[in-house]
Each structure stands twice: as structure tokens, then as C-alpha cells.
Copies of this chain bind each other. A is one copy, B any other.
């Protein structure tokens, strides 16, 4: 559990793209971000109040979150000075960098000295159990995709918001580093050892109130040959009551696999539902979430109408047009 709220460290991020993790936090959990900290060479902004470390503390920040990519996989001297100062002042640090805070000797020493925590969200910090498959109380919905990076995390976050807006009980469950930094909690599933993947998902989505929904962030695709094992662990460990099929219609091939065509939403629906029913025979497919960002509004709406007619389930772009109809479909489960 990463302590919230955060001060968002943008460092010397040259542009918006470099700060996309920080952007995700600001977009989806604005209450988690008291402000932004930028170095003089920073070339972008989130539009949050610029704060010094001291001002961040005054505003209640508990953790300095490194919400940017660093260059060349090395934590620069300019960054290091800020991070050391933050530890001395009382901040925890959290990071999704490939090079780990926990491998920087000076940061480790400073954290120990000041009694602060270093959170590297790319690696597991828990000894997960082997999955036991025991039926859990409460409900779960999982986003499954035709490909990687089709909007499964945004779908889950938008759905979680829409459900809470309807007064439903809902918790977004992060399974990747951005999601973990956004919410302060989760499992970095792609870094878990194979035998414990499904157990990690069970751990993440424990028994809950009968009318509570875990909205589980999906990963990969059952038909993406590089990562399908991770997806499989979500389908079985997540024990979903409901699936949402996620798709990006303009993609020409599977991400990173030029020889592989993107499967149809129907193909993913059929194989995902067959496998999901092993863990939960009552599982149903409740809706489709289409990422229409590369389509004009007319085209997007026509595409969604076609999907809805062909598959017989609500089809929405939850980020562009809202996730209310998916929330409504879940309420009826």
C-alpha cells in the first residue's frame, strides 16, 4: 500500500508523453495528487499547482511519486538530490522506473536512516500464494482484450467511476504499474513468478460484500502469444462474474507481432468465456468497450452500433462517450 496523497515528481520530463503515469494519476485519482514538482528543465505540465517539497508536505502529501520515464535507465544527479531531500523531509518514494529505487544504495541508506519506504511498483513486494480456486464472496468484472494496449485499464477505471456514480460498491484492482501508482495498491502481474500468477490475482480480489464489485484491470490478450499466460491467470485467478471485451478497431496487427492479425471480438468472447466458466460457471459477457480514439465521431458511433447489433451486448467507448451503460449492465448481473 502506497500512502496517499502524492506530490507528483515530473523531473525534467520533456513532454506530455514522458509524464503519462503522472497524467493517469491526475486524470483518474485527482484527490491523490496535491500538486506537481518540476525541475527547471521540465518541458511539460499537468496543470496542477507547482509545489516545493515543503509545500507538498504542507498540503498533506505523504509520497513523492516518480510519474515520468527517466532517460537511459539512469537516475540522474539532479533527480537524486531531490529524492534524497524528500526522504530526509519525511516523504516515502514510489516509482515505476525500470531501474529500481531499491538498487540505489544512497536511496536505500537514506530511507533506512529516516524510516521511509521505497516502493518499486514494477516488482512484487508480496509472497503470493498458489491459487486455490475457492469461490469468493462479492463480484468481479474483468476487462479482456483482443490485443495488448487496447484500453483495458482506461475501461476499468472509467467503469469503476461510473459504478460509483450510480451508488454501486466498486473497487478498481490494478494489475500493472500505472494502475498501481494511480491507486496506490495492486499486483505487478507481469513480474510475478509463473506458479503464483493466479494466486496473486486471488490475493488482489479477496472476499468482499455480496454487492461489491472488483473491477479488475486486464493485461495482454488470450490471443497475444507473448503475454497470453498472464491473461489466462487473470481469467482463472480473477474468477470473474462478468467479462467486458475490449478492442481497438484500427490496429493492423497484434502489438509487437507483425505476422499476427488481431482476432475478432467474437473469437475472444468465445474463448474467454469458455475458460472463465471453469472458475465461475455463471460468468457472462456483459459488454464491449471499443477504443475509438483513431476514428471520427460519426465513424465511431456507427462502429459501436454495428458491434452492438452483431454481439447483442452494449458497446461503448467508455473513455470517449462514458461507461454508464456498462455499469448498468453490471447492475443487472
Interface residues on chain A, size class: 35 or more
- Contact A133 B195, beta carbon cutoff 8 Å: no
* Residues of chain A from 198 to 236 with CB closer than 8 A to chain B in the complex: 198-199, 222-223, 225-233, 235-236
**CB contact list, A122-139 vs B, under 8 A:** 130-135
List A49-78 residues whose CB lies under 8 Å from chain B: none
Partner of A274, one of B190, B271, B278, B279: B271
The B-contacting residues of A in range 254-302, CB under 8 angstroms, are: 254, 256-257, 259-260, 263, 271, 274-275, 278-279
Q: Oligomeric state, in number of copies?
A: 2
* Assembly CA distance A198 to B225 (angstroms): 7
Asked if A121 is an interface residue, CB under 8 A from chain B, the answer is no
**Would you give the shortest CB distance from A194 to chain B, in whole angstroms?**
5
In the complex with contacts A189-B194, A192-B193, A229-B232 CB distance below 8 A: yes
Q: Is A174 an interface residue (CB 8 A)?
A: no
**B-binding residues in A (CB < 8 A):** 130-135, 189-195, 197-199, 222-223, 225-233, 235-237, 239, 254, 256-257, 259-260, 263, 271, 274-275, 278-279
9 residue pairs, one from A and one from B, having the closest CB atoms? A229-B233, A225-B236, A229-B229, A232-B232, A190-B195, A131-B226, A133-B225, A229-B232, A133-B257
